[in-house]
Amino acid sequence: MRGAAVRKARLAKLVAQQYSQRQLRTSAVNHAVPRTESAQASSSGGLLSKLLGERPTTPVPALYEPLQGVHLPPALPEDVKPSETNVTTLTNGVRIASQNIAGPTSTIGIYVDSGSKNETPYCTGSSHLLERMAFKSTANRSHFRLVREVEAIGGNVVANASRELMCYTGDAIKTFMPEMVELLVDTVRNPLFNEWEVQEQLAKVKSETAEMLNNPQVAIYEAIHSAGYVGGLGQPLMAPESSLGRLNGGVLHDFVKENYTAPRIVVAASGVDHEDLLSVAEPLLADLPSFDQPIPVETHYVGGDWRQSVDFPLSHIAIAFEVPGGWRNEKDSYAVTVLQQLLGGGGSFSAGGPGKGMYSRLYTGVLNKWEQVQSFTAFSSIYNDTGLFGIHATSSGDFVPKLVDLACEQLTLVATPGKVSEAELQRAKNSTISAVLMNLESRAVVTEDIGRQILTYGHRKPVAELIQGVQALTVQDIADVSSRVITTPLTMASWGDIVRVPRFDAVARVFQV
């Protein structure tokens, strides 16, 4: 009996404590949240309230009801326009461009019109090594100090090399924009290229190249350039092992001195005020040497065939053609971009979820019909004055002859008037515009877009202009551009089990009819 009484007393005490805490919370809500008239009615309470003997409380207003005494800011007007891209050219030719985007962070990039296309046999692989040597020791900082300074401001830095471009990019809170600009300029202008750092990175480049060239996608991508072009764009982007013995700090110094000149440099930024950026960047870059006569880079598209037999169960093949004019041929570049979306493709398994890309021609015409096809994708690599467009496909070795026939058939169909419907074209145009607009939500993409466009066109084109150009395309435009592309010399590349890959001249004859 005594134990039962103790338990009953404890239960009564616990109930009393819960009731007291609930009363305190209810009192706090009553003081903090204004009540609307509809909320003044008392609630009847629930079963637990009745059991605990609580009185009915007044409920908080519903989420869809406005709160009394709370004033909302006015809505933005419908005619709000995005901030413009401001460009300033210094006396030595350096261009500084920015777009002020709302947000707490900024992205700054230094873009140099220099890449593997500018390499000579003496310095082949320099761009690849420069990417690895970025943010190492400079005349003003050790590598350790540079890393600690980036960490201290919560920043992030990265460098990328391509065939036409070198870019050094940094992200930081807007407050630290001056520190990030100074650090990037120091990296570009004052590298030491200490021999011990160069040798350390050369060892990493060697292992990285060996690993990447065992990746069929990378090997095929490199191969169509080396087979299709003679000159600048035919130079390997990945440093070949045969050139690593010639690369050292002196070679990198010569390459930077020759190519990192003022007219070929753009400082681009997003999320910063242009005048603030200019006040920081101009003193750091105003004395950069300027050379009015850059060394011309000769590149000629000739087409060709590349094959590599590898002990691998699958065969990778790529069929490509030239896109004459590249980005500077604006209408054709728009059409090729839409054509890539129209053809689409992908793997036999859609990793992006059910239905991803299933309406594209390569899915409906190939992947959904031929179970032997592992992947079938349209690709493009467009540069300032030229480009490549084609199809990359994968299957088992015994299916390769049919795989090549399917690729030739799809490329021929889109070049035939009447074979592309209005619905397909509109879907591809919508997909292209959607992809562009979604990518431009990223500050990093906006910064890169500013830098690339200024190096290519001398200014940044409004997004509305691109949208208008895409929307203006017709099915006849797609057929005409496709026809011009596939009448250029053929480039083929194959990797893996290549025993049954058709002869190059036999495939080329398909497009000469």
Q: What is the spatial distance between Cα 59 and Cα 42, in angstroms, rounded to a whole number?
A: 7
From start to end of 191-240, where are the E strands? 229-231
Weakest mean pLDDT among 297-301, 348-352, 457-461: 348-352
Query: Which residues lie below 8 Å from residue 20, measured CB to CB, with a gap of 6+?
Result: none
Query: Which residues lie below 8 Å from residue 422, measured CB to CB, with a gap of 6+?
Result: 475
pLDDT of residue 186: 97
Residues constituting the chain: 513
Closest CA to 116 of 51, 165, 176: 165
Q: What is the spatial distance between Cα 503 and Cα 213, in angstroms, rounded to a whole number?
A: 24
438: its two tokens: 């979604």
Confidence bin at 4 (pLDDT 50/70/90): low
Burial zone of 307 (CB within 10 Å; 0-12 exposed, 13-18 middle, 19+ buried): middle
For residue 89, CA distances in Å to 213, 261, 267, 363, 424 come to 41, 14, 10, 47, 43
Closest CA to 103 of 444, 410, 439, 339: 444
202: its two tokens: 């050369």
511 phi and psi angles, rounded to 5 deg:
-95, 0
pLDDT of residue 51: 55
Residue 372 has pLDDT above 60, yes or no: yes
Query: Could you tell me the domains of the chain?
Result: 85-284 (3.30.830.10), 301-510 (3.30.830.10)
Closest CA to 392 of 322, 455, 319: 319
Closest CA to 195 of 242, 259, 260, 247: 247
Q: What is the spatial distance between Cα 423 and Cα 475, in angstroms, rounded to a whole number?
A: 10
Sign of the C-alpha dihedral computed for residues 384, 441, 99 and 154 taken in this order: negative
Q: What is the spatial distance between Cα 99 and Cα 450, in angstroms, rounded to a whole number?
A: 9
195-213 and 249-259 are packed helices; what angle lies between their axes, rounded to 10 degrees?
80
Residue 175 DSSP class? G
Residue 283 has pLDDT above 80, yes or no: yes
Query: Tell me: the pLDDT tens digits for 40-90?
Result: 444 455 555 555 555 556 667 788 887 888 887 787 777 767 789 999 999
pLDDT of residue 332: 96
Residue 329 has pLDDT above 60, yes or no: yes
**CA angle at 462 for the pair 459 and 463, rounded to the nearest 5°:** 135
Query: Tell me: the pLDDT tens digits for 248-276?
Result: 999 999 999 999 999 999 999 999 999 99
pLDDT of residue 56: 57
* Tokens 């398994």 found at: 349
If one counts every other C-beta atom within 10 angstroms of the C-beta of residue 292, the result is: 8
- Confirm whether pTM is higher than 0.85: no
Query: Which residues lie below 8 Å from residue 163, measured CB to CB, with a gap of 6+?
Result: 115, 116, 117, 225, 232, 233, 235, 237, 383
Q: What is the spatial distance between Cα 491 and Cα 389, in angstroms, rounded to a whole number?
A: 10
315 phi and psi angles, rounded to 5 deg:
-115, 130
For residue 349, CA distances in Å to 353, 363, 394, 462 come to 9, 11, 13, 37
Identity of the residue numbered 8: K
Quick one: CA torsion of 476, 481, 482, 483, rounded to 10 degrees?
A: 90
Residue 296 has pLDDT above 70, yes or no: yes
Quickly list H helices, 271-384: 274-285, 330-343, 361-362
Mean pLDDT of 189-205: 95
* Cβ–Cβ under 8 Å, residues 211 and 272: no
From start to end of 356-413, where are the E strands? 373-382, 387-396
Q: What is the spatial distance between Cα 172 and Cα 177, in angstroms, rounded to a whole number?
A: 7
pLDDT of residue 32: 46
Confidence bin at 320 (pLDDT 50/70/90): very high
Paired residues of 376 in beta bridges:
346, 393
Confidence bin at 39 (pLDDT 50/70/90): very low
